[in-house]
Amino acid sequence: MIASIAAFLTGLANPTRFLTVAGRLMPWMIGVTALLFAVGLYLSFQAPEDYQQGMTVRIMFIHVPSAWLAMMCYTVMAIAAIGTLVWRHPLADVAAKAAAPIGAAFTFLALLTGSLWGKPMWGTWWVWDARLTSVFVLFLMYLGLIALNRAMDDPARSARVSAIIILVGYINIPIIKFSVEWWNTLHQPASVMRLDGPTIHPSLLYPLLVMALAFSMLFFTLHFAAMRNEIWRRRVASMRRQAARSARG
Amino acid sequence: MSHFAYVLISYAASAFVVLALVAWVIIDQRARKAELAALESRGVRRRSDSAPAKADHG
């Protein structure tokens, strides 16, 4: 069993094999994502209003999954960075590079929807507390990595530099997660991922979990599609170099 | 601004960002496929392709 899983993953390490598998999976992933969003949005608007937040509690159904994904996407990039530096996995750098714009988009959404929730609930769009500031730093890190990838022509060199920066920057993820416990913040402490279980009522928790699943599937679908594009981009570059060499020789 | 407006703007902005991501992926995919097709029509093949090369569009 383990051997067959290992053989499957080793097979995926080949970009051509990955293109074939991803191509077959893509319609199913799009379908599951659409279905989860349909159910999640239905449950989100059927959920009762919160006794304190009123209808603004519905912002939580998109804000919390966006924030989770902002961190999950960076974790995927960190795993890919290890793959680049340790195993020189052919798809590792492709995965990290393809994930950065998606992570930036979800981090932007987390900041924006958090701000739109904060104004009516806290009375302010923004405060420089530990949670908000560390998520803003994450957003800047995504933008920096995108800029770095675009600034360097040599993909191999860019891959190693990016991987090191990603791994150094990973220190920000536990800071984001535990910022609400380590410092006195306006942002409320964790209410779902807690050792003593969620503190949210099931009528609000279940829509949130379905939306989190929908956002996660959306991330994996977009990531697979962006990885395929990145493989094709590298093939085009390789073929152009080949054509230039043939023309010279 | 009413609470409904904050909720509406949040969902509208999220839909816009998600649709922008989907559009970016689709436009990028079409551009890369067009580039690959153009190169293959000029007879350019990848070194790893066995002759006659077969196009791999996934």
Residues of B in contact with A243 (CB under 8 A): 39, 42, 44
The answer to whether A243 touches B42, Cβ cutoff 8 Å, is yes
Question: Residue A187: its pLDDT value, please?
Answer: 82
Residue B18: closest CA among chain A residues belongs to which residue?
A105
Q: Do A232 and B36 lie within an 8 Å CB cutoff?
A: yes
The minimal CB distance from A119 to the residues B6, B35, B39 is found for B6
Q: What is the ipTM of this complex?
A: 0.88
Residue A206: strand, helix, or coil: helix
> Could you read off the pLDDT tens digit of each residue along chain A, which spans 249 residues?
777 766 766 767 788 888 999 999 999 999 999 999 999 999 999 988 877 778 889 999 999 999 999 999 999 999 999 999 998 887 999 999 999 999 999 999 999 999 999 999 989 999 999 999 999 999 999 999 999 988 987 777 889 999 999 999 999 999 999 988 888 887 877 777 666 777 778 888 999 999 999 999 999 999 999 999 999 999 998 888 888 888 877
CA distance to partner chain A, nearest, from residue B21 (Å): 7
The minimal CB distance from B35 to the residues A20, A236, A242 is found for A236
Bridge partners of A50, per DSSP, are: A54
Q: Do A229 and B25 lie within an 8 Å CB cutoff?
A: yes
**Phi and psi dihedrals of B15, rounded to 5?**
-60, -40
Under 8 Å CB pairs connecting chains A and B tally to 96
The answer to whether A131 touches A179, Cβ cutoff 8 Å, is yes
Q: Which residue, A20, A193, A121, is CA-closest to B6?
A: A121
Amino acid at A184: N
The minimal CB distance from A243 to the residues B21, B32, B44 is found for B44
Phi-psi region for residue A54, left (φ > 0), alpha (ψ -120 to 50) or beta?
left
How far apart CA A33 and CA A132 sit, in angstroms, is 29
Three-state SS annotation for A6-68? HHHHHHHCCHHHHHHHHHHHHHHHHHHHHHHHHHHHHHHHHCCCECCCECCHHHHHHHHHHHH
Question: Residue A140: its pLDDT value, please?
Answer: 97
Cis peptide before A207 (omega within 30 of 0): no
Q: Do B10 and A238 lie within an 8 Å CB cutoff?
A: no
Instruction: Give the burial class of A184: count Cβ atoms within 10 A of its Cβ; 0-12 exposed, 13-18 middle, 19 or more buried.
Output: exposed
Residues in chain B: 58
Q: Do B44 and A242 lie within an 8 Å CB cutoff?
A: yes
Q: Do B24 and A22 lie within an 8 Å CB cutoff?
A: no
Give B2-57 pLDDT, tens digit per residue. 888 999 999 999 999 999 999 999 999 999 999 999 998 888 877 766 544 444 44
Q: How far is CA B53 from CA A192, A197, A240, B38, in A?
A: 53, 57, 16, 14
Residue B25: closest CA among chain A residues belongs to which residue?
A226
The answer to whether A223 touches A98, Cβ cutoff 8 Å, is yes
Reported pTM: 0.89
Residue A23: closest CA among chain B residues belongs to which residue?
B58
The string of DSSP letters for A89-132 reads -TTHHHHHHHHHHHHHHHHHHHHHHHHHHHHHHHS-S----HHH
Residue A227, chain B, CB below 8 Å: the answer is no
Instruction: Give the burial class of A248: count Cβ atoms within 10 A of its Cβ; 0-12 exposed, 13-18 middle, 19 or more buried.
Output: exposed
Q: Do B29 and A229 lie within an 8 Å CB cutoff?
A: yes
